[in-house]
């Protein structure tokens, strides 16, 4: 039978000699590999002093975007929740009331928008599915929390703050 790749190696079935039974050649190979690694550059980054460079396609925390006037872009269409393979996004839609035109772009908006970061696999499908560019994945890490509730981000945690608005710490 012909293999699909040329990576197959034939198995050596001959009986082991005395040195091979003692595993000395295998131990020697392991020592040589270990000795080579001593002189290589260390991959460790001293985090607070040095910042690691990320790939241009890195996907981090989710952000809910606003338009130039400060209104929310999300129209609660639900496409991001449907596209999410991990089912990490939940939302509830509501109708815009008179006088709220300065808060929401469309008549329909997301009254509740939550992302469970323990479920999220950072695939970016929500970002691709959104027709209004309301959600995108930033270049920020997800911070550590001590309780599971800290990983469920609500709408106020995800929205870009308005100019002059302070984000609660």
Q: What is the CATH number of the domain that holds 109?
A: 3.30.70.3270
The answer on whether 18 is annotated among ligand-binding residues is no
Total domain count, the chain: 1
List pLDDT tens digits, range 119-140.
999 999 999 999 999 999 998 8
Tell me whether residue 14 is in a domain. Answer: no
Q: Which residue from 131, 126, 139, 138 is spatially nearest to 86, judged by alpha carbons?
A: 126
* 74 is an annotated ligand-binding site residue: yes
Percentage of the chain with pLDDT > 70? 93
Q: Is 120 annotated as a binding residue?
A: yes
- Its domain, for residue 131, covers 62-158
Asked if residue 121 is part of any domain, the answer here is yes
Q: In what order do the strands lie in the sheet with 152-153?
A: 89-95, 108-116, 152-153
**Residue 126 known to bind ligand:** yes
The per-residue pLDDT for range 52-111, each reduced to its tens digit, is: 888 888 899 999 998 888 888 999 999 999 999 999 999 999 998 888 888 888 889 999
Question: Is 26 part of a structural domain of the chain?
Answer: no
Does residue 53 lie in a domain region? no
- Tell me whether residue 80 is in a domain: yes
On whether residue 167 sits in a domain, the answer given is: no
pLDDT for 19: 79
Single pTM value for the model: 0.67
Determine, yes or no, domain membership for 112.
yes
Residue 42 lies in a domain: no
């Amino acid at each position: 039978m012909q293999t699909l790749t040329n990576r197959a190696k034939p198995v050596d079935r001959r009986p082991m000699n005395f040195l091979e039974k003692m595993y000395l050649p295998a131990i020697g190979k392991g020592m040589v590999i270990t000795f080579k690694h001593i002189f290589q550059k260390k991959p460790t980054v001293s985090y607070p002093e040095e910042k690691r460079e990320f790939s241009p396609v890195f996907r981090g925390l989710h952000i809910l975007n606003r338009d130039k006037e400060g209104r929310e872009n999300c129209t609660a269409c639900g496409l991001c929740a449907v596209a999410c393979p991990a089912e990490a996004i939940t939302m509830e839609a509501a109708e815009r009331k008179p006088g709220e035109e300065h808060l929401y772009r469309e008549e329909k908006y997301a009254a509740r928008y939550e992302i469970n970061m323990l479920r999220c696999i950072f695939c970016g499908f929500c970002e691709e599915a959104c027709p209004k560019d309301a959600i995108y994945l930033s270049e920020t890490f997800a911070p550590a929390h001590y309780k599971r509730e800290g990983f469920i981000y609500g709408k106020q945690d995800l929205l870009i703050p308005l100019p002059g608005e302070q984000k609660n710490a």
